[in-house]
Structure 1
Amino acid sequence: MRVRHYWKLLATCAAFIATCAVVFSSVRVAPLVTSSSANRYDQVTQNITGTTEIFDATVAHRIEVIFRDKDYQRLLDDLWNDDEKSFIEADLTIDGIRIPSVGIRLKGNSTLAGLTRNGEARQRGLGRNRPPGAGQEPQPDGDGPPGGFPGGGFPGGGAPGGFPAEGPGGNPSGGARDGAGPGGFGRASLKAEEPESLPWLIRFDEFVEGRRYQGHREIAVRVSGMGGGTMVLNEAVSLQVLAAAGELAQRYAYSSFTVNDRPTTARLIVEHPDEGFADTLGGSGVLYKSLATGQFSDQGDEPISYADDFRQITMKGSQDLQPVINLIRWVTSSSDADFDAHLDDYVDVPAFARYLAAQNLLLNFDDMAGPGRNYYLWYDLNTKKFTVVGWDYNLTLTGDATQGPHDTVRMGGGRFPPGGDTPPEGFQPPDGLQLPEGFQPPEGMSRPGGDAAGGRGQPGGPGGNKLKERFLASAAFKTVYEDAYRDLYRKVYADGTAMNALESITTVLSTVSGYDQQKTAADVEQLTTLLRQRAEHLATDSVITKE
């Protein structure tokens, strides 16, 4: 039997295989799982122990990254042309331990909207090629579309509608330097030619299956200039005081960061909420990430309808999104009486009260109800209850030091009138503000130029979360919230924990290669003022003084 007798059949088969490869190679298949097994899905085959615990915040660390320029240019092409954040292969050295073939990609949404390449920004940022109202597809492994305004904030660090970019104590003069820093909603100015300054996600198993570094699959390299100044001191302080108070928080450390032959910079690195982080939460459970496109609204029974709301992080293949769907549908449809009586059937109420109290104490406007929807849900398979896990604290400690326990905070520290979750009548954003395509402003706020707002699921909206709103509006939970607030106030401010954290962090930071002493000193001074004023103001608040 000669091949030449069957060459047409063989050619046809080869063409069919090639066509399948071209058509389906870029399609990501995400099966809808209906099983209830508690088994893990990912298998760890290699765990690199290293020499020093990567998130030991008491020592200075060293990270070196080497990748090929042509790979980097391809990464930038993917971002510029297709709004995709692709991984490239790199060799990594952490504290002297070389780790070849790791994956590294850009991380962030509104942060990257301010990124330029050869002096030019991407037109209209992410989603420019999508039709109006189409929204933005969630990025792989948890990054949604822009969670805020382009460049991370309003022009000059200001707040909308004439609200000033308030400094410590609410003083307008306390605006950010160079568009960033404590006291204002800063914006990041990033250049593709300076990769050592960009936000990165490092993934150890992207090219080597089953590999971890000290149990971590991923590490986030945080970017400066989004509210915490040059060294993101506000995020480091927030993470340290949360951990000291016994609250759920990611670990962090400061490290020198060198990319190829570029200058070394000092960077904040943060534990990324992955499988390893889930292990620290205790017990058996499933971790879900809220996406920036999420609205926490009832969309029916079909899991696919919630694809732009949540992404499952752990136990893929053995658990599914059904518990989250059940929570959303119950929260959005239950009566007030039912909500008060049965919230504890769905949510760990004391833990939720502490989460909300902590966000207020730390002046975090971009929490679970913020435009970035920055939170995770941990579903305990034993108790069948959810716990909210905070994430992304680079916009904490940047607002009004006089914010009260029951105040609703908005961008830049500005507060709307008491009892108002919507802006004043006639509220207008400042001239020149470019809002994301499809942005849905609150009632009473129009887009620049008067164009129509987009629909549900659009990134960069004003935020809001039904679970948080109903909880804080209910008299049934006022006591548990205020008790949590008083307790956390004492642990964060009254005993000097926040101020001591800032001092210890600054001491370690001064030993990190690439540390900018002059810029950091100015940031420390400003943050010190805010922490002191916040502690003094809350000490006289009726919630704190209540017996």
Structure 2
Amino acid sequence: MHRVPVRVRHYWKLLATCAAFVVICALVFSTVRVAPLVTSSSDQTTDRVTQDIAGTTDLFDASVAHEITLTYREEDYQEILDDYWDDDEKNWLEADLTIDGTTIPSVGIRLKGNSTLSGLTRNGEARPGGIGRGGPPGGGQMARPGGAQAGGAQPGGAQRRDAQPGVQPGDAQGGGPQAGGGPGGFGRSSLKAEEPENLPWLIRFDEFVEGRRYQGHRELALRVSGMGGGSTVLNEAVALGTLAAAGQSAQRYAYSSFTVNDRPTTARLVVEHPDEGFADTLGDSGVLYKSLATGQFTDQGDDPTDYADDFKQITMKGSQDLQPVINLIRWVNTSSDADFDAHLADHVDVASVARYLATQNLLLNFDDMSGPGRNYYLWYDLETKKFSVVGWDYNLTLSGDATQGPHDAGRMGGGRFPQGGTPPEGFQPPEGMQLPEGFPPPEGMQPPGGDNGVGEQDRTRGFGGMGGNKLKERFLASAAFKTVYEDAYRELYQKIYAKNGAKNTLDSITKVLPTVDGYNAQTAGADVERLRTLIQQRTDHLATDTVITGR
């Protein structure tokens, strides 16, 4: 007893009472759900910028070639590869970065994407648990049951009879000898850990130095070849440039040489990552929310933590919360058709939603807000209390069926379904198809018609139940919004195709690309010609559509 400290002996009854109280609280309140609350309704961001590096050249001046170099310790790189290989963790690596001659020490870089990295190999071996597990290294493809090849261009370049117009067999979409062309421009991209200059990276300026920005940007994305864009990701660059020219919200981009340590230099597409700086271009006062690939846009109750797999708040953390998004989801999913038609304008900017949906169709973007990657952001204007939809991740644009109509829903690998997106019985993904960036495929994923354990509703929600968005579906199905959608479609068709917006953007890019160190003229030339053909076919086909002609 004398070994117990004097103070403890004196106050043992009080200590015992406190301990008993803690135990009782744990037993009584352990099943009570605690929801996070914001502490104010301020419209100010909580992020504090302490250093904004000006640089020498506007990074997103797309009319000039840029230069980016990364330097890091090889042992640190191997460590983050270990983390990704063993635990599926994409951890940050500290590196020194130089952009157009300006050196920025201690930035954070990490691997970006899920399906994009599905074909990644290390020492010739695929990562355990990857999409391409069990297949040839670097393939990243999905096989049909029984081992048959999935639909699309067949081995040896033979084209199926149902191949889509505007896409030629054998087109090099993956940017190298491993690439295999397929309908809609899908192709395999063979990525090797030993070639970091070819990997998809996210660069963060304040990961190791708090409050730092570069030209107002917190993050930059380095896009990777494949999935319809070829070696130079031309389709995404053309889509972004065309959107900007048409007056639509779009991330900025530029082409840059990219050198990692003493590795060979490659030409890469750099894209503005939607962060606080990008949010500033959307409005004076609002909150930006990112839709996650795991999101379903379904009512899951009042607890914001139950929506953690659906949306991520990007701006104004601590002063705003997810409640506006929860309210929108609930209303869209529960309102009657009459209520939806009469009061949608109370919740969203109807004209902006019409323009967004028309744009995705015009640019043949399968993986929009209803695609398996759920690639979109929501912007909530704090003054109007309304949402707008913002596009993101355009690496599957301009790679589908040129004859897709204004009221057709595109599908993975090209072609089209009637509006609503229900695929035909027995539909198979094209050979070598990679799932869109950010999409984690469910265990035992099957094409439509197969038993994936989710239920019959999968047949009506895009490819294999992986897509679908209730807001988009109800908007396009409603006769009340047909006119505003078709008006937006006609206006944007003029800007994108009839007045050569897409063609002129492609021409501008082809003038810059040859000046970028690491540019491959042969593969880029094939990408340019494929896109030029598709753009012309799309222009000509839509010119005769009744939505465009008004007849």
Q: 1:514 aligns with which of 518, 542, 547?
A: 518
Change (3 A) 1:267 1:173: closer
Q: Which whole-Å deviations, capped at 9, do the CAs of 1:416-449 have from their partners, x for residues lacking one?
A: 3x4563223354668999993436657x5216xx
Q: Contact between 2:227 and 2:433, CA under 8 Å: does it hold in 1? A: no
Letter in 2 for 1:86: N
Structure 1 counterpart of 2:498, one-letter code? A
Partner of 2:528, secondary structure, is: helix
User: 1:48 is matched by which residue type in structure 2?
Assistant: I
Aligned to 2:114: 109
Structure 2 equivalent of residue 498 of structure 1 = 502
The Cα of 1:280 is off from its aligned counterpart by 0.9
The SS at the match of 2:118 is helix
What is the rounded CA distance, in whole Å, between the counterparts of 1:304 and 1:126 in structure 2?
A: 29
Q: Aligned equivalents of 1:275 and 1:102: distance in 2?
A: 18
Cα distance in 2 for partners of 1:370, 1:122 equals 26
Structure 1's unaligned 5+ residue stretches are: 7-28, 129-149
User: Over alpha carbons, which structure has the higher Rg?
Assistant: 2
Could you list the per-position Cα deviations for residues 63-96 of structure 1 after superposition, in whole angstroms to 9, with x for gaps in the alignment?
Answer: 0000111111111111111111100100000000
Q: Give yes or no for the alignment of 1:415 onto 2:416.
A: yes
CA contact (8 A) 2:111 2:200 kept: yes
- AA aligned to 2:166 is G
- Compared CA separation, residues 67 and 299, structure 1 to 2 (3 A): same
Task: Find the counterpart in structure 1 of residue 166 from structure 2.
Answer: 169
Between the aligned partners of 1:96 and 1:181, the Cα distance in structure 2 is 40
Q: Give the equivalent residue in structure 2 for 1:195.
A: 196
Q: 1: CA distance between counterparts of 2:445 and 2:550?
A: 40
Cα distance change, pair 181–219 in 1 and its aligned pair in 2 (3 A): farther
> Any idea what SS the aligned residue of 2:379 has?
strand
- 5 Å matches for 1:5-404? 32-33=37-38, 35-125=40-130, 151=140, 158=151, 166=163, 168-169=165-166, 176=173, 178-179=179-180, 183-404=184-405
Q: Please show how residues 432-443 of structure 1 align to structure 2 within 5 Å.
A: 436-438=441-443
Distance in 1 between residues matched to 2:130 and 2:357, nearest whole Å: 32
Q: What displacement does 1:174 show?
A: 6.0
Query: How far off is 1:182 after superposition?
Result: 8.5
CA deviation after TM superposition for structure 1 residue 127, in Å? 13
Aligned residue number for residue 21 of structure 1? none
Deviation at 1:158, TM superposition (A): 4.6
Instruction: Check conservation: 2:182, 2:430, Cα contact below 8 A.
Output: no
Distance 1:461 1:206, change over 3 A: farther
Alpha-carbon shift at residue 179 of structure 1 (Å): 2.8
3-state SS, counterpart of residue 413 of structure 2: helix
- In the superposition, the TM-score normalised over structure 2's length comes to 0.83
Shift of 1:460: 8.7
Give the letter for the 1:169 counterpart.
G
1:470 aligns with 2:474: yes
Report how far residue 163 of structure 1 moved.
8.2
Amino acid at match of 1:424: P
Q: 1:175 to 1:194 in 2, by over 3 A?
A: closer
Q: Which whole-Å CA distance do the structure 2 matches of 1:30 and 1:65 have between them?
A: 42
1:445 to 449, 463, 478: 449
Question: Aligned partners of 1:181, 1:96: CA distance in 2, in Å?
Answer: 40
**TM-superposed deviation, 1:187:** 3.0
Going from structure 1 to structure 2, the CA distance change for 1:39 and 1:192 (only over 3 Å counts) comes to same
Task: Give the gaps of 5 or more residues in structure 2.
Answer: 7-33, 134-138, 154-158, 436-440
TM-score by length of 1: 0.84
Offset, 1:274: 0.3
**Which SS does the other structure have where 1:297 is aligned?**
coil
**SS of equivalent residue, structure 2 residue 423:** coil
- In 2, Cα distance between equivalents of 1:152 and 1:44: 43
Q: CA RMSD in A?
A: 3.1
Quote the sequence identity (%): 73
Give the direction of change, closer, same or farther, for the CA distance of 1:182–1:230 in structure 2 (3 Å limit). Answer: farther
- Measured in 1, the distance between the counterparts of 2:131 and 2:432 equals 19
Displacement of 1:497: 1.4
Give the letter aligned to residue 99 of structure 1.
I
Does structure 2 conserve the Cα–Cα contact (< 8 Å) formed by 1:60 and 1:508?
yes
Q: Does 1:488 align with 2:489?
A: no
The alignment partner of 1:101 has SS state of: strand
Once the two structures are TM-superposed, the CA of residue 186 in structure 1 deviates from its matched residue by 2.5
